[in-house]
Amino acid sequence: MPDATELELTAQELRDVHSESILDTSFHRDRATLIANPKLIREVLGHLQGKGYTMIASLHGVDYYPEEPRLGVLYEMLDMKRVDRISVKARVSIDDPHIPSVVDMFPTADFPEREVYDMFGVVFDGHPDLRRILMPEDYEGYPQRRDFPVGGEPVLFTYNEEQGYGKYA
């Protein structure tokens, strides 16, 4: 893990190239996080890729309800040579949940980006095949958002099977 100084240096490097790219940094319990501008996420990850963080170990979404902007996309970057990890976080709002896709730079991001789209409704612009991956194709709503209730799905029994659910309810 980079220490707090190295994290700041990395952030400064990125700011030198793209002044708007890094909004903030956080260092908590040995976890170094760069909070990036979602519009420049490709530039930030591209720079880190050039620095040796060649793999996205994990890509996941988080709903920070009630904080704004609510949604977060997290990229856990991994440098396999130095065995070093840094995480990049980009926050997008519910009203405009758009972020550029990084599938062409990191082919591993394909399924995880689809999962974040499926669960949180974050639209990855430029993704070659952005469809739901775990939920049914015709499902409405984004189940991992914090305002989606657990058990928000009616259970179908014989007495209510006529009513159905989802789009045709």
Listed ranges 39-47, 74-82, 92-100, 156-164: which one lies at the site for another protein (CB under 8 A): 74-82
Pairwise CA distance, residues 61 & 8, whole Å: 24
Q: Does 124 participate in binding another protein (rule CB under 8 A)?
A: no
Exactly one of 10, 21, 101, 144 binds another protein (CB under 8 A); that residue is: 144
Q: Does 55 participate in binding another protein (rule CB under 8 A)?
A: yes
Q: What is the sign, positive or negative, of the torsion defined by CA atoms of 50, 51, 57, 59?
A: negative
* Exposure letters 77-91 (e unless 16+ CB within 10 A, then b): bbbeeeebbbbbbbb
Pairwise CA distance, residues 84 & 86, whole Å: 7
Touching another protein, residues 77-116 (CB under 8 A): 80, 83, 85, 87, 106-108, 110-112, 115
Touching another protein, residues 13-52 (CB under 8 A): 28-31, 33
Residue 153 Cβ vs another protein, minimum distance, rounded to whole Å: 9
Q: Which is nearer to another protein, 81 or 162 (CB)?
A: 81
Residue 16 Cβ vs another protein, minimum distance, rounded to whole Å: 27
Sheet order of strands, 22-28 included:
22-28, 31-36, 84-92, 71-79, 55-63
Strands (E), 31-154: 31-36, 55-63, 71-79, 84-92, 98-100, 123-125
**Contact residues for another protein, defined by CB under 8 A:** 28-31, 33, 54-58, 60-63, 74, 76, 80, 83, 85, 87, 106-108, 110-112, 115, 119, 132-136, 143-144, 146, 148, 150
